[in-house]
Amino acid sequence: MNKADFLSYTEGQINQAALSIADGKKDMANDNAVGKLLFLCALHRVLDGKPHPGDLGMMDGINDCLQQLGLVETSKTFFAAIQA
């Protein structure tokens, strides 16, 4: 997937999560949406070249786990799947 399409995808997912939170319900789905939103916003900032320090740490931890599971080669990052 190219970077522009992936940024568009993350924006759509951010909007969906935000709408889920904004519905006013205090339930498990709302809590799940908050967690999803935190990750997606961090990912979007990294892709956009404007990461916060914690965003980079989050992506590093996720990448390490994906490598450990064999889903990403140890010499690469999951960002390698996103084409410029």
**33-42 pLDDT per residue, tens:** 889 999 999 9
- What pLDDT does residue 66 have? 96
In angstroms, the CA 1 to CA 37 distance is 21
**Higher confidence at residue 29 or residue 59?**
59
| Rg of the chain (C-alpha set) | 14
Tell me the average pLDDT of the chain.
Answer: 90
Three-state secondary structure call for residue 83? strand
Could you state, in order of their start, the residue ranges of all structural domains in the chain? 3-81
- What pLDDT does residue 58 have? 96
Does the structure show a pLDDT above 70 at 14?
Answer: yes
